[in-house]
Structure formats: structure tokens, C-alpha cells
Amino acid sequence: MNYLGLSTSYLNSTFALEADGILTELSYDKNDNFICERIINIIDSLITKSKIDRTSLTAIGVDFGPGSFTGIRIGIATANAIAIALRIPVYSFSSLDLLALRFFTENPDNKKDRIRVGINAGRKEVYTAGYEYENGNLLKTETDNLISLDQFNAFSREIILTGYGFEESLENFHEIFPEARYCIEFLKKTDLSSYTGSYTVPNYVKLCDAEIMLNKIEALRSKTLGQ
């Protein structure tokens, strides 16, 4: 099995390929402003380093957010295009799920704890979800949602917080970032035979500024026409 993983929802984009059990990874930092133009070349480089042919890829896993709107679109468009070209399955995974799996993998002593994952969404809001680890499996206790920064910080009195993007100091907080290797870990637990042929779409959780403005314009237009 040869799995390709993409995570571009964070400023640092990561790419991973596991070929016959051997993992190869590439990472590009936030100062690389041309990732959208180079992403196919990056993936080709990853395939070359792994010494396989691209046609031998089994499946693709992609981080579909929440996070950077532009980064999410780049990753999903690329994953869908490769899946269509090679006629292989593509599965999407929440960036919050990737963070939770990474936390429990890197902190095995905390596997009996409940955690809350958060990503700074700006404007004192947080993308978040809750998790537990039970019998070797990551359990999600709620769907991805949006809460206030104060609400997120209040959880620190009871459980461990993890995630990224917070400038201010939060109590009981462990900073980590999403990585493509965890897309592959989820892929390896996925029944690929159940793939329906559908392609993935972004998991924004909230509207972008342009969509908010468009909705306001449409509401104003409807109100004006109704007078």
C-alpha cells in the first residue's frame, strides 16, 4: 500500500508519502508564498524520493480544515485532481482530528485524559472539538464548531488544551501543528473498499469575509426590492 498525505490548512504545509511501510516527508514554511504554484512539483519530488511510480499510489488523504481558507482550497483541489487522474480514492480529514491524533501519539501518558483541540479563527473565536482516546482508538466527542476564545480558555480548568495560533498565553495549553503523516495514519484505518467515488470539499466551519459581505449585500438587496 502506498499512501499520499497533504496538509495545507496551516501556514506550514506538510506532505507525506508512505510506500511499503517507509514514510517520507517534506515541509514548507510560511514564508513560501508560491506553494500553490509548486505543489505538484513538491508531490513529484516526494514520489521520486520514495522511489515509486505515481501510478502505484493506493489512496490520498487530505487535511480539509478548518484553518487557512486559501491553504485548504489548494490542498483539496490538488488531492481531488490527482485522485481523478489516477482513479484512486481520496479521503478528507479534519485538521482538528489530525491535531488530536498527533497529541495522543506524542503524549502516550495522556491517553487516559480528555482533550480539547483549538485553532485560532481570528476575531477572538476558536475552531474546536473535543476528544478522548479509548482502546487504541481516537474518539471525537463533538463535531467541529466555533466558540469564543473565552469559552475555549475556560476548558483549561478541566481538561488539556492543544492546537495552535494563539498569541496570548493559555492555561494548560500544548502547542502543536497539523502534519500530513496523520492523514496517512487515518487512511490506514479506513476501509478503502467503501469508497463511493465522491470527492472532498472544504470544511471551513465559518464563512470567509467575502461570503459574509456577499450575504449582507444580498440581504440589503432583498430588503430594498421588497420595499
> Do 28 and 166 form a contact (C-beta atoms < 8 A)?
no
Q: Assign a CATH topology to domain 96-175.
A: Nucleotidyltransferase; domain 5 (3.30.420)
Average pLDDT, the chain: 90
Task: Give the per-residue pLDDT at 34.
Answer: 65
Mean pLDDT of 165-194: 91
Higher-confidence position of 79 and 196: 79
Amino acid at position 34, single letter: F
Q: Residue 194 CB: number of other CB atoms within 10 A?
A: 7
> Of 95, 153, 147, nearest to 126 (Cα)?
147
DSSP string, 160-172: EEEEE---S--TT
Report the share of the chain in percent with pLDDT over 90: 70
CATH 3.30.420.200 range(s) for the chain read: 96-175
90-93 vs 137-140, strand pairing mode: unpaired
Question: Rounded to whole angstroms, how far apart are CA atoms 105 and 182?
Answer: 10
Domain spanning 2-94+179-210: CATH 3.30.420.40: yes
Say if strands 173-175 and 160-164 run parallel, antiparallel, or are unpaired: parallel
pLDDT digits (tens, 9 = 90+) for 21-65: 999 999 987 655 667 778 999 999 999 999 999 999 999 999 999
> Which of 128, 117, 131 minimizes the C-alpha distance to 177?
117
Cα 91 to Cα 73, 106, 136, 161, 162, distances in angstroms? 15, 24, 21, 27, 24
Higher pLDDT, 224 or 85: 85
Is pTM beyond 0.95 here? no
Residue with C-alpha cell 430588503? 223
CA distances from 87 to 2, 52, 125, 138, 202 (A): 14, 17, 39, 29, 21
Q: Please, where in the chain does CATH 3.30.420.40 lie?
A: 2-94+179-210
CA separation for the pair 107, 85 (Å, rounded): 38
- Backbone phi, psi, residue 94, to 5°: -65, 140
Is the sign of the CA dihedral 21, 164, 207, 139 positive or negative?
positive
Q: Write the pLDDT tens digit of every residue in 150-162.
A: 999 999 888 999 9
